[in-house]
């Protein structure tokens, strides 16, 4: 065991003295030391119940013969950070989480880890750390929030975001807006739709790093406490069998994750996080792979914001394994991949039928024959851009319109709120990429305002930033290279015609080639004064097309 190096010999007496200072007994010191990485805090709704999950994990580890020891991980609530400088500090925490977990795990000689994340950057950050450390590791999340209810209909965080746009357009009263405010988020947990947190937690199951139900059992259900105990037991079995993250997160596992991503209609942020996690495993994922997988993967789910079903409904329908069971009917998964259960994917999903065809479409009757996410390329995005195709209205799958150009999110939001965006426009928000933001802010407020004001069927938005999983509509993010790196999005002028062809995977600036080359030759990206962590991050971060990993 790793910890034996610091606890067995007479020379390790000083280490043991400090273990005794923690109140550990000789029996506890002699057992495998299991780090429980807790992202509990009192500011993120998805994390306020994690203390109970951690206690259950500890019990599971102890029951299986290990010694559980808790240490923390940070987490930012994207909803609270949205629309102001705080959002610059969301994506950047992914690397802080991975780095600090690496430091804590190696500095203290842990033999294994149980990761207890829940929200957007917390899950991929800890997956990156797991890959980097390669110690036996299991994931168990805090679980999804229950859906809210307004006027007899289920609601989620995107509902309140779009309600603000409806209020600004005079479509609802302040009293109705207040009702959405009070009823949209009724419990702790990660927001109830297929947003980034729930997307990534579901994908832990597909990657083989989480037990069944990790992505879907609601936060407030007692079944999640049971799941946490089983996660603690499972990691001890992994220690005994020497099963490690890089045995699990293979190239085949990442292809499985992309396949289920397409079927489930996950957040576009998965196209940032999966390449970054794979990178830590020594596996490079090209965005072109996403389109090739999408071409043969049917979209089976329309959870919010794409539809009117929620993660709680997915859980009742059989969860992630039921989706995998459907996909496996056409041989779309690599079923030989190992998982934290000690069994293969094929063994795990063998008897997991689809219990509700209204939530999970049978593979013979999909929403579409192609996947929920598309990667668009063209002279406006030579390295690629990403759109959640399953959440785009049919009439906006192809669109041409004049560019309305903004240098930051705030300027675009002000124009939308003031009624200055017209049907047919293509809103362009630049200098919001990983380097230019810095931090690649999510654009939920502008996209929700467009939808709430009734412009979703006629207005598109493109950005070198990114979108919340709660975003719906013809919203194309991750445009790469970004403006701050000299990308073509930086040469777009007010009124230029932009062509969007989602079925054709194209994003084009409709100017002649000579003018395009002249503008590119003359283009000099603007620079922002930076300090602190954001300055370091901007200097090190790569393109969004490469997962915004740090070089």
393/450 Cα distance (integer angstroms): 13
- Cβ neighbours of residue 30 closer than 8 Å, sequence gap 6 or more: 7
- Cβ neighbours of residue 1 closer than 8 Å, sequence gap 6 or more: 32, 33, 111, 239
465/478 Cα distance (integer angstroms): 6
Of 540, 543, 525, nearest to 489 by C-alpha is 525
Is residue 184 within 8 Å of residue 164, measured between CB atoms? no
Of 240, 159, 166, nearest to 193 by C-alpha is 159
Angle between helices 444-452 and 157-168 (to 10 degrees): 60
- Cβ neighbours of residue 151 closer than 8 Å, sequence gap 6 or more: none
Q: Which helix (H) or strand (E) holds 70?
A: strand 67-72
Conformation bin of residue 160: beta by default, left when phi > 0, alpha when psi is -120 to 50: alpha
10/8 Cα distance (integer angstroms): 7
Q: How far is CA 70 from CA 51, 55, 125, 537, in A?
A: 10, 9, 17, 28
- Strands, sheet with 137-139, edge to edge from the N-terminal-most edge strand: 67-72, 33-38, 112-116, 137-139
Of 318, 394, 311, nearest to 349 by C-alpha is 318
134/234 Cα distance (integer angstroms): 16
Q: Is 480 a catalytic residue?
A: no
What number of residues does the chain have? 551
- Token duo for residue 148: 């809210």
Of 382, 435, 429, nearest to 543 by C-alpha is 435
Q: Which of 3, 468, 480, 485 is catalytic?
A: 468
Helix, strand, or coil (residue 115): strand
Given the DSSP bridges, would you call strands 506-509 and 148-150 parallel, antiparallel or unpaired?
unpaired
394/296 Cα distance (integer angstroms): 20
For the annotated catalytic residues, the residue numbers are 468
């Amino acid at each position: 065991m790793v910890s034996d190096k610091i606890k067995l010999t007479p020379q390790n007496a000083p280490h043991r003295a400090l273990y005794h200072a923690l109140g550990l007994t000789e029996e506890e010191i002699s057992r495998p030391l299991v780090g429980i990485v807790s992202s509990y805090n009192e500011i993120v709704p998805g994390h306020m119940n994690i203390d109970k999950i951690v206690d259950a994990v500890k019990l599971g580890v102890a029951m299986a013969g290990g010694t559980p020891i808790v240490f923390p991980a940070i987490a930012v609530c994207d909803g609270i950070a949205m629309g102001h400088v705080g959002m610059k500090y969301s994506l950047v925490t992914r690397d802080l989480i991975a780095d600090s977990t690496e430091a804590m795990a190696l500095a203290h000689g842990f033999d294994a880890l149980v990761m207890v994340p829940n929200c957007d950057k917390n899950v991929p950050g800890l997956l990156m750390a797991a890959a980097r450390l390669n110690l036996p590791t299991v994931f168990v999340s805090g679980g999804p929030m229950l859906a809210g209810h307004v006027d007899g209909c289920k609601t989620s965080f995107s509902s309140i975001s779009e309600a603000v746009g409806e209020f600004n357009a005079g479509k609802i009263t302040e009293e109705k807006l207040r009702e959405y405010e009070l009823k949209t988020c009724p419990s702790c947990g990660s927001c109830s739709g297929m947003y980034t947190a729930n997307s990534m937690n579901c994908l832990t199951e597909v990657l083989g790093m989480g037990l069944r139900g990790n992505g879907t059992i609601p936060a407030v259900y007692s079944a999640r406490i049971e799941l946490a105990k089983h996660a603690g037991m499972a990691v001890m079995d992994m220690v005994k069998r020497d099963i490690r993250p890089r045995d699990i997160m293979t190239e085949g596992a990442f292809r499985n994750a992309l396949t289920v991503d397409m079927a489930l209609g996950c957040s576009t942020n998965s196209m940032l996080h999966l390449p970054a996690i794979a990178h830590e495993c020594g596996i490079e994922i090209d965005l072109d792979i996403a389109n090739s997988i999408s071409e043969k993967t049917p979209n089976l789910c329309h959870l919010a914001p794409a539809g009117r079903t929620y993660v709680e409904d997915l859980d009742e329908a059989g969860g992630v394994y039921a989706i995998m069971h459907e996909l496996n009917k056409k041989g779309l998964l690599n079923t030989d991949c190992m998982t934290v259960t000690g069994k293969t994917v094929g063994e795990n999903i063998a008897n997991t039928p689809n219990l509700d065809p209204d939530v999970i479409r049978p593979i013979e009757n999909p929403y579409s024959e192609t996947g929920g996410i598309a990667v668009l390329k063209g002279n406006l995005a030579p390295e690629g851009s990403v759109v959640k195709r399953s959440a785009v209205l049919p009439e906006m799958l192809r669109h041409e319109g004049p560019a309305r150009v903004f240098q930051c999110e705030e300027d675009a939001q002000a124009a939308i709120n003031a009624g200055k965006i017209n049907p047919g426009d293509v809103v362009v928000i630049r200098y919001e990429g990983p380097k230019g933001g810095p931090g690649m802010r999510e654009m939920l407020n502008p996209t929700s305002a467009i939808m709430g004001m009734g412009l979703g069927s006629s207005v598109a938005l493109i950005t070198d930033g990114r979108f919340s999983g709660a975003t719906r509509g013809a919203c194309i993010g991750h445009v790469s290279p970004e403006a701050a790196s000299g990308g073509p999005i930086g040469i777009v002028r007010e009124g230029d015609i932009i062509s969007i062809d989602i079925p054709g995977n194209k994003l084009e600036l409709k100017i002649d080639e000579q003018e395009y080359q002249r503008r590119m030759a003359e283009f000099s990206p603007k620079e922002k004064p930076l300090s602190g962590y954001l300055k370091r991050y901007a200097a090190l971060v790569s393109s969004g097309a490469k997962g915004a990993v740090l070089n």
